[in-house]
Every structure is written in C-alpha cells, then in structure tokens.
Amino acid sequence: MTHQPTTPQFKANSRAAIADGGLQEQMTKALGNSMAKRAYASGALPEFDQLRDAARDLKNHTLAHLDLYLEAYESKVQADGGQVHWAETAEDAREIILNICRSVDATSVNKGKSMISEEIGLNDFLEEKGIAPVETDLGEYIIQLRKETPSHIIGPAIHVTVPQVREAFRTHHPHLPIDRDLEGLDKLLLEARAELRAKYFEAEVGITGANMLIAETGQSVIVTNEGNGDLSQSLPKVHIVIASIEKVVPTLEDASTVLRVLGRSATGQEMSVYTTFSAGPRREEDPDGPEEYHVVLLDNGRSAMVGTEFQEMLRCIRCGACMNHCPVYRSVGGHAYGWVYPGPMGAVLTPSLIGLKQGGQLPNASTFCGRCEEVCPMRIPLPKMMRHWREREFERQLTPAGTRRGLRFWASAAARPGVYRAGARLAAWGLRLLSSGGRVKRLPLAGAWTDVRDFPAPEGGTFMDRYRPDADGKRGAKR
C-alpha cells in the first residue's frame, strides 16, 4: 500500500508503540520464538558460519558483475518465452504491471507475498485502477483486511493478536454465519483457506515476488511455507514476477548456498516447505501453468547504491533475522519505522530509497549493539552502514544544530588536555553539587536521562587529578 512514509515521525510512532501493551506482549513473545529457532538451527549446522562466508562472497561477486548477470538472466528468460521488463522507478513498475493486467482484461490479481509490491505501493494503485488485488499469504491477507502495512518482512502480521484476527474475519467475511465458531486457531486457518481457495481460480493474473533469480537458467525462485505463492503463480493465465535487480545469483549451486542460510536465519527451518524454481510460461506439453510469464526488474535507487559504501546492503536476502534480534525493533514494532522495511535492514535501506531527509531518523535510532550484524546470514555490516548515514547527515548539515555545536565544543576541549581536565573537574564538582544520596534525580538540560533513570553522581575528584601522573605517566605523590 502506498502509505506516505511516516518515518520522519519515528519518535512519535515509537512512543505510541511502547505505550501499546498488547503490541509489546505480542512482539516479545513472537521475537523470542524466532530467536530461539534461529539459534537452534544455526547451532545444529557446524558449517553455518562457513556457509555465511560463502554466501557473502558469492553475492559480492554477483554485485561486482551485476549488469552482466542481469543480461545473462534476461536472455535466458527470453529463451524460455518469458518477457523481461525493466523498471527504473516504482512508478515505472506500476505502469508496466497495469499494462500487463489490462492486456488480459484482469479484474482481480492474486498476490504472493512480496516486499517489492509494498515498496512500489502496488495494491493501492491497482485498486485505484479498478483491479482488485488479493493478498494470499495468510499474514498479508490479515493485514489487507485490517488495511495495514506489514510490520515484519517475513511475518507481516506479527503485531496482530488472535482476537484481532477473529474480529477481522467476522467483519470481512459477512457471507458466513455470524454465530460461527471461530474459537480455535484451526478454525481461523480453515476459514482463511476456504475463502482464498476459490479466489485462486478466479484471478486472471498472479503476482509473486522472487527470493532469487538464477542467471544460469533464467528461473525465478520463491521460498514459502504456505503454498499460496505457488497457487498464485500456477493457476492464473498470467504470472508476473516482481523482483529488484540485486536478487540475481549465478548458478543453481549458488542458490543452494543461499537456501542453506536463508531458512535457518529466517524461521529456523533447514529448508522452507516450498522452494519453487520457475522458468517461462507453460510449454506446449504442459497441462497447467500460466500462459504468459513476465518479470519486472525494479531498480528504484539500487543501481545508485552500487559502488558506494551502501553496496553491501544489496546482499540482503530478506530473512528478517536482524529485526528478530534487534532490541529497538522489539521495543517499537515494525510500523514505527514508518515505511516498508523496518528493523536494522530497514534503517540502512530506507534512506537509500526514500532519501535521507525523510528516512534519517532510522539510522540514528540504534545503540550500535551489533546483534543484527552478528546474526546476518550475509554478514552485512549494518551498524557500520547506519554510521555512514550519520556521516552523510553530518556532512549535509542535517544533524541537529545543537548536536553539532555540542560535538564541536566537546571535541575542541578534548583536543587540549589542560582545558579538558579543567572541564572534567568542573563537571564532577557541579554534578556532585546537584546530587544527593549518590544520585541526581533531575539534571537540568538532561531531562531525557533523568526522566527515566537517576544520574549516578561522580565519586568526587577526577581520576587524572587523583592519580597525578608525571611526565612519564608515573603515579604522582599522594597529596
């Protein structure tokens, strides 16, 4: 959905999320599960870290030759009778998809889960044009009913509680008996399954994303657990794959390496339930499959990341491990990030895609704790890249003036040990003056600290004053 980014309001968004007790409980539980599963699965594979290195290397190689692999991929798709469309912008991609839909007079499209679809705001656009998009991934279906955006890249409805699902089904399935039993989770699942089953046969067009594109074979790959993506792409007359340009890998063996780290990192599975490699439209002898196969390759700012300090972000395979392990994401949930991609990967990617002015909050909202990098299967140095964004902000004077002044003042003091010592002495003395019982309860100009915690008072005297090192650094005589 093309919601205007609310990323600039990240602070307000996160305050609201932290005040939402239901969300807090939901996030803590869901992410706890995800972390435990990943820890088990990665720990059970002795070669896991070696595979991460190999996955990183193969993707680095691919990115260094991205133009050539895209050309190789394109020619393979065409050889199989598929069509490749290049979309420089989100708008280009939407138009391309609309034209394909109109060419077969589509009134509805089935959709497998795709973050690129979210990125280009496809659903709202299609609806405006009179084409009904039907999300078929269970999580996406739930949030489509609730008119929400995904709050997690692999668990889009991770923020939705069971009573909220029940309510959504009662409201949006009015043709079913109002007093039906929806108590058990299985009842909810069966109802969604039955509702969507018929829709698979109705749509003229099926749209899926792609976890990978294989240059060697021209195949698009989807990795799912529900089977909805396969039904969405097998039954309609037209299959459209929307994928961003960095999704290509050289060979099927390379795909195996990525798969070996993907499932374990995402859901703790050695292999997701369905991994499907698709090439072109149905062949003459095929009894099923789409008659047309289109691939829309989306750039939308990615080619501009190549050759910059953000190129490594293009290794991302969208497993979600970084957000599952992020204490900030756990505290505020995905919607607070205000656009399509939340968590650490979103904090790096969002400013690239919507600009630093709009997305600049996100790379700042990190303690640099490093857990994201620690678990990233592609070894993307996420904190380092967030810091690069802070540097760009600083260079472009987007860093708040107060912060800049403060840094300048502090740094010039710290560059002069004599001045610095005098300042430290004064600060230690002043803080002690404000304290009682070993702590400062309210610190002027530092309410952000003392609103939520005490400020421990300095012990008294600075270390350098008390140690009194001589010119050789030896301890001075005690006073």
Binding-residue pattern over the window 79 to 98 for another protein, x denoting contact by CB under 8 A: -------xxx---x------
Q: Three-state DSSP class for 461?
A: coil
Q: How many CB atoms lie within 10 A of CB 34?
A: 23
Distance in Å, CB of 18 to another protein, minimum: 5
From 254, 261, 256, 189, select the one nearest 227 (Cα to Cα): 189
What DSSP state is assigned to residue 367?
-
CB of 131 to another protein, least distance (A): 22
**Of the candidates 332, 354, 362, 385, which one interacts with another protein according to CB under 8 A?**
332
Contacting another protein within 352-381 (CB under 8 A): 364-371, 373-374
Nearer to another protein, 131 or 168 (CB): 168
Site residues (CB under 8 A) for another protein, limited to 12-31: 14-15, 18, 26, 29-30
> Is there a contact between 462 and 470 (Cβ–Cβ < 8 Å)?
no
Residue whose tokens read 């008294």? 460
43 Cβ contact list (under 8 Å, min separation 6): none
CB of 68 to another protein, least distance (A): 5
181 touches another protein by CB under 8 A: no
Classify strands 219-224 and 274-278 as parallel, antiparallel or unpaired.
antiparallel
* DSSP codes, 175-233: TS-TT----SHHHHHHHHHHHHHHHHHH-SEEEE--SEEETTTTEEEEEESSSHHHHHH
Place of tokens 């029940």: 166
Sketch the per residue contact string, 192 through 221, with another protein: x for CB under 8 A, - otherwise: xx--xxx--x-------------xxx-x--
Q: Write down the residue that tokens 């299985």 correspond to.
A: 186
Q: Which is nearer to another protein, 130 or 407 (CB)?
A: 407
- Determine contact, residues 21/352, Cβ cutoff 8 Å: no
Piece in contact with another protein (CB under 8 A), picked from 123-131, 138-146, 338-346, 348-356: 138-146
> In this structure, what token pair is assigned to residue 9?
């309001």
Q: Report how far apart the first and last C-alpha atoms of the chain are (Å, whole number).
A: 70
The footprint of another protein on residues 437-456 (CB under 8 A) is 437-439, 446, 448-449, 451-456
What part of residues 397-426 is at the interface with another protein (CB under 8 A)? 399, 403-404, 407-408, 410-411, 413-415, 417, 420, 424
- The CB-of-3 to another protein minimum distance in angstroms stands at 21
Binding another protein (rule: CB under 8 A), the pick from 103, 130, 433, 463 is 463
Displacement of CA 449 from its chain's centroid (Å): 30
By CB under 8 A, tell whether 288 contacts another protein.
yes
> Restricting to residues 116-135, which ones interact with another protein according to CB under 8 A?
none
Cβ 467 to another protein shortest distance, Å: 6
Residue 378 backbone phi and psi in degrees, to 5 = -100, 10
Asked whether 328 and 365 are in contact (CB, 8 A), the reply is yes
234 interacts with another protein by CB under 8 A: yes
- # residues near another protein by CB under 8 A: 166
322/320 Cα distance (integer angstroms):
5
Give the footprint of another protein on residues 256-285 (CB under 8 A): 256-257, 259-260, 269-283, 285
Q: CB of residue 277 vs another protein: minimum separation in angstroms?
A: 4
* Closer residue to another protein (CB): 130 or 438: 438
Query: Which residue of 139, 206, 342, 377 would you call a contact of another protein, by CB under 8 A?
Result: 139
Residue 471 DSSP SS3:
coil
Shortest spacing between CB 245 and another protein, in angstroms: 7
Least distance to another protein from the beta carbon of 130, Å? 26
State the Cα–Cα distance between residues 270 and 44, nearest whole angstrom: 10
Residues of span 151-180 touching another protein by CB under 8 A: 155-158, 161-162, 165
Residue type, 457: A
